Chain A
C-alpha cells in the first residue's frame, strides 16, 4: 500500500513534537513547516546526498531506509544505515562550510523532510521547529558518543597491536 507522503510527514511532525516538547501543537504550526519543507519521496537507489558536495540541509527520515557510503583510497565502503526517525546530514546546519562527508542513497523507497538552516531561522518561534532542533540535539549526542567510543576502541586496538609486535 502506498503511503501518502504529506499525511506521513504530518503524523511524523506531530509525533516529533509530542515526543520532545510533550505537548500537542496546532496543525497550523505543522502546516507552516510542511509548506516550506514539503516531504520528498526518494525512490530506492536514488542518491540524496553526495560526498564532497556543499552541505546545505539536514534530512529527517519520515519512513524508509537510507544507507551511507564513503569513497576512500581502498574503494567505496558502506559506513552506516539510517531508518525512520533518524537524521542524516545534520552537521550541515551548524557547520555550513563542511562538505558532505558521505554519499547517501535510498536503500528502499523512502520519504524525507529537507531541513535547511533557513527553516530554522524563519521558524524561530514555531514549536515544531523547536522540536526539530531538540531532535537534532539528541542525534548529535548519539553520534558524538559513538564517535568518542570509536576513538577509545581504536586507540586500544592500536596499542594492543603495537604491544604484540
Chain B
C-alpha cells in the first residue's frame, strides 16, 4: 500500500479529530507503525468473544458493529475515519462485538498489541498521536453513549418504566 494512502489517511484523521492536537506528520508516523489492510465487503475485522490483539484505525469505508446480546442483536454502523477495538486493546478484555466491512471495501491501519504497548508509553510523536487519538475517539463515544442512555431513561419515564432503567443508569455511574 502506498505512502500516499498513509499521507491521505493522516490528513483525514487530523481534519476529523482536531481535538487530538497532533499534526499530520505525527499521525503519519503513527500510521507507518501500522499495517495497512483492505477488508472486502462482508469480511470481519474482528469477531465477538475473541481475544483483543489489534487496534483498527479505519481510514476508508464503513463497518457494521454487531453485538449478539443473547439473541437480540444490537447493530450500529460506523464510518471512516474512526477507531475500532480501542477498549479491548487497553484493558485486554475479549471483543464485545463483531466488526464487518459493509458497503464496499474498508481500509484500516491495524496495530498489533505488542506495537501498541510500546507506542502507548512513548513520548515521541507516535505515542502522543496514539494516546490523543484514542482519548478523542473514546471521549466522543462516551458522550454519545451517555446521551443515548439518558434518552432511554427519559423515554422510560414518559411510559412509567423509569425505575428499572434509572437503576441501569446508576449502575453505569451516570
A residues sitting closer than 8 Å to B (CB atoms) are 20-22, 79-80, 90-91, 93-96, 98, 101, 117, 120-121, 124-127, 130, 133-134, 136-138, 140-159, 161
Report Cα–Cα, A121/B21, bound state, in Å. Answer: 8
**A137, B171: Cβ atoms under 8 Å?**
no
- Given A93-B139, A136-B135, the answer on whether A20 and B156 have CB atoms closer than 8 Å is no
Report Cα–Cα, A153/B72, bound state, in Å. Answer: 12
**A130, B139: Cβ atoms under 8 Å?**
no
* Pairs A-B, 5 closest by C-beta atoms: A150-B172, A147-B145, A140-B138, A94-B139, A153-B168
A136 to B, closest residue via Cβ = B135
Report Cα–Cα, A20/B123, bound state, in Å. Answer: 13
B136 to A, closest residue via Cβ = A94
How many contacting A-B pairs (Cβ < 8 A)?
Answer: 139
Set of chain B residues within 8 Å of A153, measured between Cβ atoms: 168, 171
- Given A138-B91, A141-B87, the answer on whether A91 and B120 have CB atoms closer than 8 Å is no
- Given A133-B135, A144-B142, A152-B74, the answer on whether A158 and B161 have CB atoms closer than 8 Å is yes
Set of chain A residues within 8 Å of B168, measured between Cβ atoms: 150, 153-154, 157
Q: For residues 123 through 168 of chain B, which have their beta carbon under 8 Å from a beta carbon of chain A?
A: 123, 127-128, 131-132, 134-136, 138-143, 145-146, 148-149, 152-153, 155-156, 159, 161, 164-165, 167-168
The answer, among A124, A143, A146, A158, for a CB contact under 8 Å with B123, is: A124
**A155, B135: Cβ atoms under 8 Å?**
no
**B165, A137: Cβ atoms under 8 Å?**
no
**A151, B152: Cβ atoms under 8 Å?**
yes
**B169, A133: Cβ atoms under 8 Å?**
no
A129 to B, closest residue via Cβ = B123
> How many chain B residues touch A (Cβ–Cβ < 8 Å)?
50
**A154, B143: Cβ atoms under 8 Å?**
no
Set of chain B residues within 8 Å of A146, measured between Cβ atoms: 171-174
Set of chain A residues within 8 Å of B93, measured between Cβ atoms: 145
Q: Shortest beta-carbon distance, A37 to chain B, in Å?
A: 18
Report Cα–Cα, A138/B167, bound state, in Å. Answer: 24
Set of chain A residues within 8 Å of B103, measured between Cβ atoms: none
A127 to B, closest residue via Cβ = B123
Set of chain A residues within 8 Å of B134, measured between Cβ atoms: 137
A95 to B, closest residue via Cβ = B139
**B142, A159: Cβ atoms under 8 Å?**
no
**A79, B21: Cβ atoms under 8 Å?**
no
Report Cα–Cα, A157/B169, bound state, in Å. Answer: 12
- Given A94-B135, A150-B149, A153-B171, the answer on whether A141 and B165 have CB atoms closer than 8 Å is no
**A145, B87: Cβ atoms under 8 Å?**
yes
Set of chain A residues within 8 Å of B139, measured between Cβ atoms: 90-91, 93-95, 140
Q: Shortest beta-carbon distance, B73 to chain A, in Å?
A: 11
* Residue B122 at the chain A interface, CB threshold 8 Å: yes
- Given A150-B174, A152-B74, the answer on whether A144 and B132 have CB atoms closer than 8 Å is no
